[in-house]
Structure formats: C-alpha cells, structure tokens
Structure 1
Amino acid sequence: MGHARLTAALIALAAALPGSATTLTTAEVLAQSAPQEWKEIPADRLLVMDIERGQILLELAPEFAPEHVANIRILAGQGHWDGLAILRSQDNYVVQWGDPNAEKPEARRALRQAKERLPAEFDRPVDGLPFEALLDPDAYAARTGFSLGFPVGRDADNQRTWLLHCYATLGAGRDMAADSSTGAELYVVTGHAPRHLDRNITTVGRVIEGIEHLSSLPRGTGPLGFYESPEQHVPIRRIRLAADLPESERPRRERLDTHSRSFRLLIEARRHRREEWFVNPVGRLEVCNVPLPVRTVAEG
C-alpha cells in the first residue's frame, strides 16, 4: 500500500474509533485501557542494573539483535559487570559503562563463555514483525512506527527495519569495524535523540524504569564526556537478568501493547493535545516523543 493510501486509511481508522483522540487525553487513554492490552515483560528479557543511586530496568530486544542479546544474557549470568563502572556521561548524549581496563589485555576482565566478536546487527528484515505506523514524516527514515514495544524505522524499498535512537535507547558500543561489538560495553541515550546513530550501531533495547539514575549523573570532563580519573567512575553493584534473581527480588513490569487499540488512541492523543494547558494542540508527532507506558504488574 502506498504511503498516501496508508495515511488515509490510518486517519480513517483513528476517526472511527469510539471516544477517539478528538476528546481523550493521554491520561484518559491509559485510564480506559483494557487489562489484556498490557503485556508482561518476560523475566529473561528484563535486565536489572543496580548502582548506588538506585535500580535501572532495561528491556532487551532479541528480535532485533539476537546475537547481541544472547551475549548480554551470558555476560549478565557470569556477573561480568559486577564491580565495573559507568565510565562516561556526556551532556545531552549518552551514559556508557563497561570495563575501565578494556584496552589493557593483561588487566581487562575476560568474557569467558561470551563471544569475543559479534556481527553488526544494525537492522533486520521486516518479515514476521508487526508494525504500528506513525503518520508523520521523519527526517531519518522513510517510515517510522512501533514494533513489539519499541520505536522503529522502516525502509520499504529494501524491506529492512531497525530500532531508533530515542531517549532511553540501549545500545552496544563498538570500535571502527562494524563487527567489533561484544555487548560488554553498553550505553543509554540520555539526551535529545541522536538519530544520526541509527543503523550505525547495534541497538539492543531500552530503559523502562530508573532512567533518572543515569541522566542525572555528573558530566564527564574528558573528551566525549568520559570521566578523567577512576575516582569519578560510578561503580556498578550488579547487573542480572530478572530471570536469574530470586523470586523475592524479581521486578515484574508490563507495557502497553504497541499494537493495541489503546496505543493507537494514545498516538492520536499525543498528536492532538487536548489537555487544558495547551493553546495550540500541535497536530503532528515525532516518533521519539510517543510515550511507551510501563507499569508494575499487580499482585494477585
């Protein structure tokens, strides 16, 4: 279906939805969402990071970067990051962590069972992936939208799709070679979406809770925001998969299904802001400004 026809179809769908965004606010959309529209994040996709400031929860995206996610799961199971550090906090850009001795072969922490090198997983075929399209044009991708809870771009001509560098995106650092990543050096976007990185680095997931513990870290004073002395490093207490934690310590979270009726209403509510505060309701939307709601799974 051509872009113009698809756009018209989606506009018609939004208009046909009862109580659509012509009247609903974001809060009202979430309040009326049905329980079945919320999907629990499996424990083997939930990475739990503990630092002194608090806990950070990260959802992994194996459908988009299967080899990187597999390596990250192995590294977490080995306790690879325990006692390592956050090494970089660049203003309006990223926070990055890993081994302070990564460039010293005699001192760096061994990857053990994890692979030493992974293929670049910058994008993947669209086959088999659902796609909730966003109507609005984008500067970096022919099409944008959402797939399995993540913001994505699409290239219809080449039938490729990829995760976007929005705020809170989790990525795997690399050197000059495209296939030089292991997943042991990770970063999170903590500033305005650096979309120029899309399809240049493997993205592996997103922070779903606790981003404030990273975004508020002191800025590094070295080049690219790296901390200049070990005393500035932020220690990592522990990173584990939720599946590997005792039941009593295992966080349980669910996210609004990005292929649900309520998520389509949420998109329209964000495009046409109906909250009383807004003088001009905008009428357009950028993919990284669409909230991806997450909540704690109710007990019982």
Structure 2
Amino acid sequence: MKHLLLAAAAASLVLPVYAAEPAPVPSPGEIAAAAPASDWIAIAPSDLLVMDLAPDAKGKPRRVVIQLMPAPFSQGWIGNIRKLAAAHWWDGTSINRVQDNYVTQWGDATEKKPLPEGLVTVPESEYVTTSDAISEANATHLDGNSDASSAAAALGDEITASEERSKAAQISIDGTRTKAALDGWHERDSYAPWVEIFNEWPVGAEQMGEGLWRYWPVHCYGAVGVGRNMSPDTGSGAELYTVIGEAPRHLDRNIALIGRVISGMEYLTSLPRGTGPLGFYEDEAQRIPILSVRLGNELPAAQQPKYEILSTSSVSFHRYVDARANRRDPFFIKPAGGVNICNIPVPIRPVAAK
C-alpha cells in the first residue's frame, strides 16, 4: 500500500495544472442586489403618490406608485399635485389616453371637474433650474436623510465638480482599475450638452457662464409629466402622463416632469391603445376608472408604501453605471463603451414590512 501511495503521489506531479475558473463578472442587477444597506436611501412615503385603478377583468387590483421629484425641480407643479391629492381630486377620473410607443395619460376626460382652490400658475421658466438653486436644495437631499446628505457633501459641489467627479471616480473590477463614469458618456447625448444622474434623477444640463449651470429633468421610460395646452399654458398638474415607449427627449424643457413610476408600470403599458387622435379613447367605456390617488403618508401606517433607492453617491452605483455601459457578464460579446442617460435606471427596491 505504501508503494501505491508513493506511485500515486509521483503521478500527480506530472499531471497538468489547470488555472482556476475566473470569477463570473456580475451584471448590473447583481451589483445593485449586492450593495450594502448603507448604500440605500429610504424614500419618504410623503414623496410617493399611490394611484389605485379599477381592478382588471379578472378582479385583480391595480396599484401604481409614483415617486415625486425632489426640490428644486418642478416644485410649483408638485405643490399643485400635493393639493390635488389631498383634495382627492383624481378619485372618479380616468385613464383616457394610451398612445402606442409614447404615453399613457390620466385626469378628467370631461375637463369640467372644478379644481381645488390654491393651485398656482407655474411659469415656463420653471422647466429648468440653476446650479445655485440645486446647491441650496442639496441640504435636504430627498427625504432629508442625514447620511445621504453627508455623502453628497463629501463629494464637494454637486454641480461645478460634475466632470471632475466622473473622471476621478475609480473602482476595482476583476483586479483592474477602470473609470466608473466612463469619460465622455456625459457628453454623448443628442439633446443636452451634458447629462448625469443627480441626486438619483436623470438630468440634462448646459453651462451658462463661469460656475453657472442650468439643469432640467429628462424624459425617460416611466417618467411622469404634466399635460398642458398650447404655450404659455404649462398645466396645473391635474392632467398627468407617463412615458410608455422610447424616451421622447424632444419634450425636455417643453413640458414639466414631476416624477417617475416606480411600481405598477405594467398596468399602464398593457392597456388597449386609443384609436382617436393622439391615442385618446373615443368610447367612454374604454376609459379605465381611477378609484383613488393618495400621498403615501395619507394611507394608514400599515399600508404606507416603503421603498429604497440606491444612492448615486455610493461606490455601488459607480460600479452599476460602469456595468451598464460595459456589459461583461456572460451573455454579452462586445461591451458598448458608452451608455444612454435613459439606460441607467437608478435601482429602487421595496422594503418588506417588519
């Protein structure tokens, strides 16, 4: 037996040595899923709009949750929307327009329902905001989460240092150093001189002078905007729509954006397309009734929606952006080397009730 063991040991010395299989490269979704709890920011229920539609043909409830945009973007319209929700104005209205590859729209199809008092008329100048206004609002980033505010502050001026941050952001992937933001993707946009994800929201920007920029939200899939008539009308916020197709970026700075759908998008994209002009339903029976629209904090505590969003100040998000721009996970053959602003949906996840 001793000689057999020695022979086996000797034989093992001449067998080929195989390198260990390289670790699989994570997908963007896997990177987000692996992000530590400290990289996630709670979304305040007061910043969520909960819309309950009439059940579907099988009796299944249909709930849509919309996250409202933080200050300083579109705050005049968002103030109106909060008043409309508090007045339960949308109860009994309907989804009345579904245009293929474009938008689903809802509100009062008759245009005769009185609006609540106290709504403001918002000027067209509010379609954009300045870097000064953003710097002021940054102190109350999203829901005032102190950790998020500290993280943002640690990165320095969120506006004037955008390019420097993107060039300096370095992460480690498979033992190599690579730029998370990929130099140049910010400037490859067809509709804005500069694009970025600012405080978890996709925005376009242009420089107006030394240290002065103006920024605006952009129309990506799921974005929610304010329907309006011809200029100078900007809409009250009573008529809302969401993008259900290719991003209509030509609408940027022409219509107010006030938020995005974060849950229930399937109930808005799967509806029958309207056959009237612009996709409006010609038959009243086609309209989908809206049972109620409430701010999240107006619901009973046990029913309030709870969601978290991945902080764009985190290393996890930088890795996520890099992975979106350069897919290295097994299915992909050639990384793209760039990414469209609307192809970087910031990860949002529901929080299980405790």
Equivalent residues in 2 for 1:21-170, closer than 5 Å: 23-51=25-53, 52-53=55-56, 54-63=62-71, 64-102=73-111, 108-115=112-119, 117-120=121-124, 121-127=126-132, 128=135, 130=158, 135-136=184-185, 137-157=188-208, 159-170=213-224
Q: Indicate conservation of the 8 Å contact 2:92/2:291, yes or no.
A: yes
Residue of structure 2 in register with 1:193 after alignment: 247
Matched residue pairs, number? 274
Take 2:336 and 2:257, find their aligned partners in 1: how far apart are those partners? 30
User: What amino acid does structure 2 have at the position aligned with 1:220?
Assistant: G
User: What amino acid does structure 1 have at the position aligned with 2:237?
Assistant: G
Residue of structure 1 in register with 2:321 after alignment: 267
Q: Indicate conservation of the 8 Å contact 2:80/2:120, yes or no.
A: no
Moved more, 220-229 or 177-186: 177-186
Take 2:335 and 2:121, find their aligned partners in 1: how far apart are those partners? 48
SS at match of 2:202: strand
Q: CA deviation at 1:23?
A: 4.3
Unaligned runs of 5+ in 1: 1-21, 103-107
Q: Indicate conservation of the 8 Å contact 1:62/1:69, yes or no.
A: no
Residue of structure 2 in register with 1:15 after alignment: none
Residue of structure 2 in register with 1:237 after alignment: 291
Q: Indicate conservation of the 8 Å contact 1:152/1:164, yes or no.
A: yes
Aligned pair partner of 1:183 in 228, 234, 237 = 237
Take 1:211 and 1:116, find their aligned partners in 2: how far apart are those partners? 29
TM-score between the two structures when normalised by the length of structure 1: 0.87
Take 1:274 and 1:123, find their aligned partners in 2: how far apart are those partners? 36
Q: Indicate conservation of the 8 Å contact 2:234/2:256, yes or no.
A: no
Q: CA deviation at 1:116?
A: 5.7
User: What amino acid does structure 1 have at the position aligned with 2:68?
Assistant: L
Take 2:26 and 2:76, find their aligned partners in 1: how far apart are those partners? 41
Take 1:180 and 1:283, find their aligned partners in 2: how far apart are those partners? 38
Take 1:241 and 1:118, find their aligned partners in 2: how far apart are those partners? 21
- What is the identity percentage for the equivalent residue pairs of Structure 1 and Structure 2? 42
SS at match of 1:191: coil
Take 1:178 and 1:266, find their aligned partners in 2: how far apart are those partners? 40
Q: Indicate conservation of the 8 Å contact 1:87/1:97, yes or no.
A: yes
In the TM superposition, what whole-angstrom CA distance separates every residue of 1:117-161 from its partner, at most 9, and x where no partner exists?
A: 322321101221536666411000001011122110011236110
SS at match of 1:266: helix
Take 1:284 and 1:226, find their aligned partners in 2: how far apart are those partners? 37
Larger radius of gyration: 2
User: What amino acid does structure 2 have at the position aligned with 1:57?
Assistant: V
Take 1:262 and 1:180, find their aligned partners in 2: how far apart are those partners? 38
SS at match of 1:258: coil
Take 1:60 and 1:299, find their aligned partners in 2: how far apart are those partners? 22
Take 2:81 and 2:189, find their aligned partners in 1: how far apart are those partners? 31
Take 1:153 and 1:180, find their aligned partners in 2: how far apart are those partners? 20
Moved more, 128-137 or 248-257: 128-137
Q: Indicate conservation of the 8 Å contact 1:75/1:114, yes or no.
A: no
Q: CA deviation at 1:202?
A: 0.6
Take 1:177 and 1:155, find their aligned partners in 2: how far apart are those partners? 23
Take 2:298 and 2:82, find their aligned partners in 1: how far apart are those partners? 10
Residue of structure 1 in register with 2:272 after alignment: 218
Q: Indicate conservation of the 8 Å contact 2:64/2:264, yes or no.
A: yes
SS at match of 1:50: strand
What's the Cα RMSD here?
1.7
Take 2:240 and 2:322, find their aligned partners in 1: how far apart are those partners? 33
